[in-house]
Structure 1
Amino acid sequence: MRDRGSNGWSSAHSTRQQPTDDGVRSPYAMAQDGLAELIDAAVQAQRIEAMNAAMRVDLIFLAVSYALRSEEAFVAPTLSPQRRHELARRSVTAELATALRVPERTMERQIAEAWALSTTLPATLGAMREGLISARHAAVIVEETADLGDDPALRIRLDERLAVVAATTTAATLRRRARALREELSAESIAERHRAARAERRVELEPAPDGMAWLHALLPAADAMLIKDRLDRVAHAADAVGDSDPRAVDQVRADAARDLLLHGRLPADSEFASAIATVRPTVHVTVPVMTLLGASEEPGMLGGYGPIDADTARRLAAHAPSFIRLLTHPVSGTVLDVDRTSYRPPADLKRWLEVRDGTCRFPGCNRRAVRCDVDHTDDWEHGGCTAFDNLAHLCPLHHHLKHETSWSVRHLAGGVLEWTSPAGRRHLTHPGRRIPSGADTTGPPTGRDPEHQRRRPATADESPPF
């Protein structure tokens, strides 16, 4: 954990400048206004793009509907009704694909999305028409509601809720929120869905250009994240040896996966071969205490993924200390205990922050918190406290951005961060895990009064480890 130097940026640079007494605007103010106008124009262009995408959806839906209603005009009348309907759809798909110069498979997907938006997702399509969400956001909502044919009421609720969420989040964040919201609203047990989905696990090969290929493995989320985390740690172990290994981190991950799958081990002459024996993959699993005791089937939360069924959560919590176990109150969600049995645990506060934040707290960044720096929102050197309400995870890129540009951030209640851009635009980022309100539940279970923590200056023995 370390704070980067401010590089000369004062607090005056982080807010919009006001005219001087004589009405003359400073160069800083004019620069900010100019940037603000360009950012506003980019936002407006994106809104227009979204509105155009909605118009495209409407026209594709109208074209397909028209072709199906008038199928006798486009398909031989001697065919059976079912065959006539199928060929009419194929015909209009080819018509659109050739006219718009896209592959037919792509056109089929666009037609399916347009059909779903126009017939079952009115709130999402309405948000697109107003320019509030992009086509990518709409596609995520279509994907996350695609298999709810037997529960139209659930789809309607999800459509209304996700259309609102999509207006203020990235598409990647929307996907995670959609999974959690679907579990919250769904009457079907996540355990039942997981059993059905687990039965579909498989490995697939996808050819790629230039003598390459993709190897896809559909696995239970916990297993997949552990595999990825272990490869990440091996790659970072290789990166730590310096310039002796010319490979990029992504290349090391791919080579390690290849060697482990083909040979069951890393090459003996590898400088980081020993890392595979000592690396312990780690993920966060949040388990409601009543679920852990077997008195509830409330889902657990797998960090970086979302809800997992109760049986999997209990299994993960019961095993190796490579999992950090966080127990929560079954009603309020208040943190009750932080597992202290993991190998070489960091400070309780840092682990609590990892669970709270989930990812880098810069708007739109989804880098996992465990791969980020813990940053003092108010710089330590300027009197900022080492406390939960002055700390947040930032990836190295956005850590530099905060300290070395005129981006600024401040903590609000409940772990919410308010960012202000150089152009004066404000963005809120919310913690990955909701922090209950109230003085006794906003911070980690340290046993000390949060106000006392904020007021009390740190002693020399309590200085941050940087």
Structure 2
Amino acid sequence: MISSPPVTDPGADVASPVAVVRGAWLAVQQLALDAAAAPAGTADAAADTAEQGLGGVSDAGLIDMLGDLRRLRAAVAAVEAHVQVAFDASLRGAALAAGATRQDAGKGIAEQVALARGVSPWRAANDLPLAKGLVRELPRTLALLTGAAIGEQAAQNVARETVCLMPEDRAVVDEKLSERLGGMSPKRAAATARAEAAKVDAESVVRRIRMAEADRCVTLRPAPDAMVYLSALLPVKDGVAAYAALSQQADTLKASGDERSRGAIMADALLHRLTGYASSELIPVEVQLVMPATTLLPSQSAEPGDAEAPPAGGECGWIGEHPIPAVIARDIALAAGVEEAARWIRRLFADPISGEITAADATRRRFTGATRRAIMARDRDCRGCGAPIRHLDHIRPHAAGGPTTIANGQGLCQRCNQVKEQPGWRTQPRIIEGRHVTVTTTPTGHAYVSTPPPPVTEPPPRQVTSLEQHLRRRLAEHLGPRAG
């Protein structure tokens, strides 16, 4: 959703760290382009391109390149940790010098790092303390990462499992692990670091476990084939007890002849216990209608198999950020054969050029807030990082005269909404060929462009009008002499 800012000349010397990193990136990029230009798949094609790209590299040489690339990724991860720590220290120092409190000095740093790295602010905020731990308190582990003796994930796991220790205790664990980590998998590195941390300071590990229990939560993320993962982070005793209860019910029903799979029985039992409904078909659903009504709803007079009946395909719909094929959407919306099911349909109106949602029905029984619904359906997830939407935000602040309209609204998670209020951050809404665009400028002057997901409905083909053709010709005539 976020596009990277254009590469700009940093104005540094050729030998500066910025120039070295940029030169390495350009070299690797060129190698990737050369490799992509060399076709593969047939002996004749390989012979024709033996001297181009990777066509002339032996199998052993290709394996050597894979090993070197692994080592390169590890070394880059070590450099990235140093860069993040340096950026954090610079901005915190400037904020403290300007009179900010220690608590406020770090606001907005993780968000800028996230935009530059192309990750979510949540991940950047979690990775930054790990980078600080590696650079400042785990020098031997960082050296192993730099030398590619371990991978980035293994190094981060060591930092994560020792974060509860005091710096002097962390140094003891770092020294103990230095001769054992080489070649360890991330999982083994985490377990070993956790065990050593418990030996050095068991009380801190216990405190960390208590804190983790306070952070228990439930999350939802998309899965393939119109499915989702509903996950619960629980204390181990609670998670095991919940799983055992579902497992026992599944075993009982299977023994009585239930034809569903064991996993399906457990999933259905979980849904029933959480919602109170005996069947998912009975759960009330509001369908945000962003496909042609004729695709979703069959003709009242059409019989199955009639020519007037809707086709089996059709444009897909969406539930949140989850694409739903038209056939499945009809099943959800109509709940065929289940008279007790409560279903509502809201019409959402799309721009005729871009296909993007621009308005919604103002009313629906038992519900209000059409503008909010239209923005939620258009953005589907946070415009800043892709997390679930928690806040609907005025792109141009309301205090600055920003209107409460769909064009000036965007869906954001809590973190992305709060960071844009920090000094030096600016956001502007734009409409380009019917597409809603938000331009975010960070305190360092880097601009990032955010657009909603592709529209659900394909816009109809548009004919170029005679006026547009005339204007294009006049523009070409005007620019022609200058171009020459």
Q: TM-score range by the shorter chain?
A: 0.3 to 0.5
- When Rg is computed on C-alpha atoms for both structures, the one with the higher figure is 2
TM (norm. structure 1) is: 0.40
Structure of greater relative contact order (alpha carbons < 8 Å, 6+ residues apart) = 1
